[in-house]
Structure 1
Amino acid sequence: MFLSGTQYTPSHFNYLVDHGVSCDRMAVEAEISYLDGVDTSNVVVDMTGTYIVLEGTVASTSDAVKVERVAEAVMGAGRVMSRLISMGTPSRFQLLA
């Protein structure tokens, strides 16, 4: 089953949780590659022990959140470390004196 857009729930991935480390990375890579409108070509998925590590760049913070949510849905809550960097235009803010 591959994602269509952002309509998923963690229960969609119950068949993957606690199955073993061997295909965790491939499962996360496959699922994030099907996110509509999110360029994941600069995202690297790696394993550190039993944790998935997401590294690379995405266009916006909302894209980073989408990738992280999918990875957590596949791996389970608390098993994803994200080092994603948003390359979009920073939001405007005002410095207070």
Structure 2
Amino acid sequence: VLVDRFYLGIGGTLTFKNAKKTVEVVKEIPLDRIVIETDCPYLTPEPFRGKRNEPIYVEHVAQKIAEIKEISVEEVTKATTENAKKLYKIG
């Protein structure tokens, strides 16, 4: 499976009302293959849509992932942080 070799970056568009396909993808992707991205300065998540995107807004993406996967936000942030560290060879 392709996702076994790659990480998928999930950004603010996941929070959009019309993001049905992205929601379905997130349901299927294992948490250990997801990283969260800002798409800065564009594609700001709800409730800030239309404004300049900022890195602090990734918390809204993490909350949406947690909702979709029915897990805690803490679990999402811990896993996606570890994924980013592995991907970028940090620490």
User: What TM-score range do you get, normalising by the shorter chain?
Assistant: 0.3 to 0.5
Which structure carries more helix by proportion? 2
Structure with the greater alpha carbon radius of gyration: 1
